[in-house]
């Protein structure tokens, strides 16, 4: 057969293929060197830069995976590696890397059955995202007052429980840890789910056990300023297969993650319309390194704070923040409550003059999304549309729900949040730095307060 006849004959009938190869060669969709020149500006370590270079270089000539943790034939994507390290670090069976701490909370709440007509108890001090994620889940947040640890007061939870309550969402505040043992006891007594918000205290522990591993689900933020700080990312951990699958349903668009994605649901509520909260490969390349560093970072912070606290004397007019577990404290802030605002203002001025950076919000502080009464999109109960759920939801109304929010609901938080003096600490302080800071705090407190060996101890 002549070449021309073979070319004309259909490939189906044994003729030559019209397109046997493609000559055109593209360039990686993301230029490696251009990308690295941006990444290098962020001051990442050599190890992190190497991971980023590897992730970007794995881009092929235009057909993906485009830094997505999806349809990849790599033996282990960066996200899968990050999730493996999270499982190993926290000793949990399941871990899901997501786009943010808020996404982690939203997916965890939905997984735990938070939905229309239900309520979740959240702390009066923490961050807006926890309460907001309850609202995203079409449920109603109920604020619970704190104690002198600034975390949810286990003794006040029961008074906030209603027939609509399905979950507790304690927040571990600013490097400190909640009293998880007491919180879990209340939760188990009332058959409530527990979703821990560990965004501010990744690596904190109570009695040697990492926060995030007490409750049904642990949620973390990996935004730039956190202990495990990448760019924008989040993490969910759990030991419960069903909760893991349902959280994946939210993160992976509602079942796309399943080995057989079009199979019928294996159990009621397995399939529902989730969204896309998948972590990107680039974020995961950074977060793998950051998460591996976490124990070292926490140990350095802990050593600094403990070294300072051990040297502080006790004063009648000063109440140190209660530490639910001094050994499990991360310690990037040192906090205490002066008896009055006037005294607090004097101490803050004097400490700053000594070179010890600190602040107190005071009685006329600007609105702040870390305290419940300033979380306006929640407290005003306004949705994106006029009839927005969850407050207007017939299920919520039928079940007797009728919440309102105002300052005064949580008096301890109202008082302590304004009266708290916070001293920021740095993990890289030397022993000498710690000694100087401790000496400076003792000097200032001695000048304005009454030293008393029987006053509340620092740890």
Ligand X SMILES: Cc1ncc(COP(=O)(O)O)c(C=O)c1O
Residue 127 or residue 405: which is nearer to ligand X going by CB? 127
Q: At closest approach, how far in Å is the CB of 390 from ligand X?
A: 19
List the x/- string, 88-127, binding to ligand X by CB under 6 A. Answer: ------------xxx-----------------------xx
* Residue in 121, 199, 129, 213 with CA at minimum distance from that of residue 167: 121
Alpha helices in 383-430 (DSSP H): 394-398, 411-419
Dist CA 51 CA 44 (whole Å): 10
Contacts to ligand X from residues 117-176, by CB under 6 A: 126-127, 129-130, 171
Contact status: 234 vs ligand X (CB under 6 A): yes
Residue 234 or residue 338: which is nearer to ligand X going by CB? 234
Lookup: tokens for 169: 């969402």
Which residues, in sequence order, are CB contacts of 86 under 8 Å at separation 6+?
A: 92, 95, 97, 235, 237, 291
Contact status: 199 vs ligand X (CB under 6 A): yes
Dist CA 337 CA 248 (whole Å): 42
Q: At closest approach, how far in Å is the CB of 102 from ligand X?
A: 3
Q: At closest approach, how far in Å is the CB of 99 from ligand X?
A: 8
Residue 129 or residue 343: which is nearer to ligand X going by CB? 129
β-pairing verdict for 193-197 and 165-168: parallel
Residue 347 or residue 375: which is nearer to ligand X going by CB? 375
Dist CA 434 CA 425 (whole Å): 9
Residue 201 or residue 248: which is nearer to ligand X going by CB? 201
Q: At closest approach, how far in Å is the CB of 197 from ligand X?
A: 5
Residue 101 or residue 117: which is nearer to ligand X going by CB? 101
Q: Which part of the chain contacts ligand X (CB under 6 A), choosing from 193-201, 253-261, 279-287, 373-381?
A: 193-201
Helices 101-111/128-136 angle, 10° precision: 40
Taking CA atoms, 73 is separated from 26, 30, 76, in Å, by 20, 19, 8
Contact status: 413 vs ligand X (CB under 6 A): no
Sheet holding 140-144, edge to edge: 94-98, 234-238, 217-221, 193-197, 165-168, 119-123, 140-144
List the x/- string, 203-222, binding to ligand X by CB under 6 A. Answer: ------------------x-
**Nearest residue to the partner ligand X, using Cβ:** 101
Does residue 221 contact residue 132 with C-beta atoms inside 8 Å?
Answer: no
Contact status: 290 vs ligand X (CB under 6 A): no
Contact status: 69 vs ligand X (CB under 6 A): no
CA atoms within 13 A on the CB side of 336: 28
Q: At closest approach, how far in Å is the CB of 397 from ligand X?
A: 29
Between the two ends of the chain, the Cα-to-Cα distance in Å is 93
Q: At closest approach, how far in Å is the CB of 130 from ligand X?
A: 5
**Interface positions with ligand X (CB under 6 A):** 100-102, 126-127, 129-130, 171, 197, 199-200, 221, 223, 234
């Amino acid at each position: 057969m002549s070449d021309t006849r073979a070319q004309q004959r259909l490939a189906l009938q044994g003729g030559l293929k019209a397109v046997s190869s493609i000559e055109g060669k593209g360039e990686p969709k993301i230029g490696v060197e251009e990308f690295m020149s941006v990444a290098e500006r962020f001051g990442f370590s050599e190890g992190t830069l190497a991971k980023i270079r590897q992730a970007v270089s794995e881009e092929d000539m235009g057909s993906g995976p485009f830094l997505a943790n999806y349809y990849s034939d790599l033996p282990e994507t960066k996200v899968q590696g990050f999730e493996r390290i999270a499982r190993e670090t926290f000793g949990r069976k399941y871990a899901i890397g997501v786009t943010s701490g808020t996404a982690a909370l939203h997916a965890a709440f939905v997984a735990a059955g938070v939905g229309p007509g239900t309520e979740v108890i959240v702390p009066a001090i923490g961050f807006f995202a926890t309460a907001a994620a309850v609202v995203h889940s079409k449920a109603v947040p109920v604020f619970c007052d704190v104690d002198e640890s600034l975390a949810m007061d286990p003794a006040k939870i029961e008074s906030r429980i209603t027939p609509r309550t399905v979950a507790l969402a304690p927040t571990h505040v600013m490097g400190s840890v909640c009293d998880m043992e007491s919180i879990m006891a209340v939760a188990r007594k009332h058959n409530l789910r527990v979703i821990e918000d560990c965004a501010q205290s990744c690596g904190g522990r109570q009695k040697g056990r990492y926060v995030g591993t007490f409750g049904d689900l642990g949620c973390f933020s990996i935004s730039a300023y956190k202990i495990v700080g990448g760019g924008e990312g989040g993490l969910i951990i759990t030991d419960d297969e069903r909760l893991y699958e349902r959280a994946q349903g939210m993160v992976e668009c509602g079942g796309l993650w399943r080995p057989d994605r079009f199979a019928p649901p294996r159990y009621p509520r397995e399939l529902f319309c989730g969204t896309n909260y998948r972590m990107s490969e680039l974020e995961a390349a950074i977060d793998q390194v950051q998460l591996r560093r976490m124990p070292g970072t926490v140990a350095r912070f802990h050593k600094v704070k403990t070294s300072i606290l051990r040297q502080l004397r006790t004063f009648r007019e000063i109440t140190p923040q209660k530490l639910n577990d001094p050994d499990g404290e991360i310690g990037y802030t040192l906090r205490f409550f002066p008896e009055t605002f006037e005294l607090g203002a004097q101490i803050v001025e004097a400490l700053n003059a000594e070179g010890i950076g600190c602040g107190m919000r005071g009685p006329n502080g600007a609105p702040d999304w870390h305290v419940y009464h300033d979380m306006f999109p929640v407290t005003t109960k306004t949705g994106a549309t006029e009839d927005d759920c969850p407050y207007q939801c017939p299920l919520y109304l039928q079940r007797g729900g009728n919440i309102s929010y105002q300052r005064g609901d949580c008096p301890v938080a109202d008082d302590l949040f304004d009266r708290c003096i916070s001293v920021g600490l740095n993990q890289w302080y030397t022993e000498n730095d710690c000694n100087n800071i401790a000496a400076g705090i003792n000097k200032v407190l001695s000048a304005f307060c009454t030293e008393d060996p029987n006053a509340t101890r620092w740890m």
